[in-house]
Chain A
């Protein structure tokens, strides 16, 4: 539906590229979760996809027609008119999208239903709650019934009920066959909603794949609680190879390529006569992978 190929983009007077050789594709009936710390290049990437900015090199390919017809964009900010009511906003954006007469009325009704805006449709947008504004923002993006949706932090600042409603609405759109690019600061949201995930940092895609692929590639993590000190040779070897980390008195974590490598770890400890009080192994979480790749938390400032 939409593809970026080797896209490079730099802001004037910037020292580094905002996007550096980014390739990404968005498919019909799929939610692509885009993760990245602040300043990673997410908004720039969305601006390029939306067609408001042009890449310095590389290409943005839309499968069908002009971007305006194919794209619905819900920016991170409340990009509508606060002085106008929800209904007036929908009418203005429908007209701006070129929808008129019966078609416009039909599409506005569909957008109102999607966002469940009936109860506040005639209230000035200025006076809506954060959740209502997010729903209106999404409804506006859906006015032209676009096959591709760009949702930039669509749940930021909303209450849990509104978040659940928005996530359900996005899933329903995916089930209708829409291609959706979804960025969020909430890792659990991406884990819950995305069919594929791309991790972006410093203008580069660091990983791309399903949750299982990304976490599987990252291997497993073992947690050990020992009954005595860790012998120095083992500590040195594991620190170099397994990113050994002390998490408490005689408690450690270490990364493993696969979960079954734990038996080798336990055998080495047994050989050195180090009692093992507890041992646990599990796949790395998305958050572990993200931290390992970016060395930054998702909410860190750039």
Chain B
């Protein structure tokens, strides 16, 4: 009945989706559990990569000389402010290498014989017999940082030794540095802040999870098309636009529930396991987060409709949806954070809707961006959704007409 109340018809379609979703707990579980598990895993897996300074290196110090000066240097390395505060002693370089090989240590400092003599020598340009060994799996930046810290400690020891020598030669007191000057303070500032692991993982996998809706949605949609259910509804006067409107709100609601769970995992789940908690914005920020999640869901469900309308079979839909999501995720900074990508790749992320969404979430979480700053990305997500819906309607009209 084409003149029938629109709301009655939509209500019937929404009711159907709600019942069908409730009767497929496995698909719902996958939809909710997959991104939640990813958030937990990635928040811990990427913790050190996102904050190398916070990494606790397991270090070993090998003193082969055992002179007063070498022991003093080893003590300085192990001091709370030293380069290797948790260093364990080792008897030989071979023993240190074995510990690194077995993964029981990350770095080692080997103080070789001739250390004291070198330190007392007049030529400051001569390298001291000290070397740093590192497990190759430790990030290069972290290895370099450790080496520089050891070098700085060595420099301060050399300066102290030099002062003592001058004092004894001149017979006059000289100020002697007993410890390094400490690190120059570093403050991260500006709008291009880097997220923590949890700030990256929660929105990234929330977005990926939202787009994952294609996996339960598309096969059902294709089955309805192939069994003639959609044509039957069409014959009752429900065109493709109305059919999509009958599916959109239930799946958007599923997405929103999914997003709430992901945020809860970030706020309570990750810290429960010893990780850093996600801090939600408050007040207007929370509202912006809600609007953004709605836009992401609109884009994700519309994309799922497009895949379902385009694919001829469930297998095709699973492949197109799955591969499409992985590509969008890889390009969008979900799987590999954008800031570790080279500049060219970073520019390429602009083509992925997941990247637009992730940038917008980071704007909300990191920068407290006002609504106006989010608008371009919200608009891009909505335009993407509308294009997907328009293409779906066209494809469905064609498929209906030709009974595919």
Binding site for B on A (CB under 8 A): 11-12, 43-44, 47, 50-54, 66-69, 71, 73, 75-81, 83-84, 88, 91-100, 124, 140, 144
Contacts and interface: CB of A to CB of B under 8 A. Distances in A.
B24 to A, nearest CB: 7
A98 B401 contact: no
Given A68-B2, A68-B236, A91-B12, A52 B231 contact: yes
A84 B20 contact: yes
B232 A75 contact: yes
A100 B15 CA distance: 13
Given A66-B237, A83-B23, A95-B15, A50 B231 contact: yes
B1 A97 contact: yes
B15 A96 contact: no
Contact of A100 (B5, B226, B402): B5
A79 B232 contact: yes
A54 B397 CA distance: 11
Contacts of B16: 81, 84, 88, 92
Nearest to A140: B232
Q: Lowest 7 CB-CB distances: which A-B pairs, in order? A: A98-B4, A95-B12, A68-B237, A98-B1, A79-B228, A75-B228, A50-B235
Nearest to A78: B227
A167 B229 CA distance: 23
A96 B236 CA distance: 7
B113 interface: no
A77 B15 CA distance: 23
Nearest to B242: A96
B164 to A, nearest CB: 85
A99 B7 CA distance: 11
Given A95-B9, A98-B5, A44 B235 contact: no
B66 interface: no
Contacts of B13: 92, 95-96
A92 B232 CA distance: 12
A81 B236 CA distance: 16
Given A78-B227, A95-B12, A99-B8, A66 B2 contact: yes
A286 B139 CA distance: 84
Given A68-B235, A83-B20, A97-B1, 6 more contacts: A47-B401, A47-B403, A66-B237, A68-B1, A80-B227, A95-B9
A52 B9 contact: no
Contacts of B12: 91-96
Contact of A75 (B19, B24, B231, B402): B231
A194 B235 CA distance: 24
A248 B188 CA distance: 101
Contacts of A83: 19-20, 23-24
Interface in B1-55: 1-5, 8-9, 11-13, 15-16, 19-20, 23-24
A68 B227 CA distance: 19
A81 B16 CA distance: 8
A130 B387 CA distance: 41
A289 B35 CA distance: 64
Contacts of A144: 1, 236
B236 A93 contact: yes
A53 B227 contact: no
Interface in B382-404: 400-403
Nearest to A92: B16
The interface centre, meaning the residue of B224, B236, B237, B403 with most chain A CB atoms within 10 A of its CB, is B236
B301 to A, nearest CB: 19
B231 A47 contact: yes
Contact of A52 (B19, B20, B401): B401
B351 interface: no
Contact of A12 (B4, B224, B400, B402): B402
17 contacts: A50-B234, A52-B401, A53-B402, A67-B235, A68-B2, A71-B235, A73-B235, A78-B227, A79-B228, A79-B232, A80-B229, A81-B20, A92-B16, A93-B12, A98-B3, A100-B5, A144-B1
A79 B234 CA distance: 12
Given A68-B1, A75-B232, A91-B15, A43 B8 contact: no
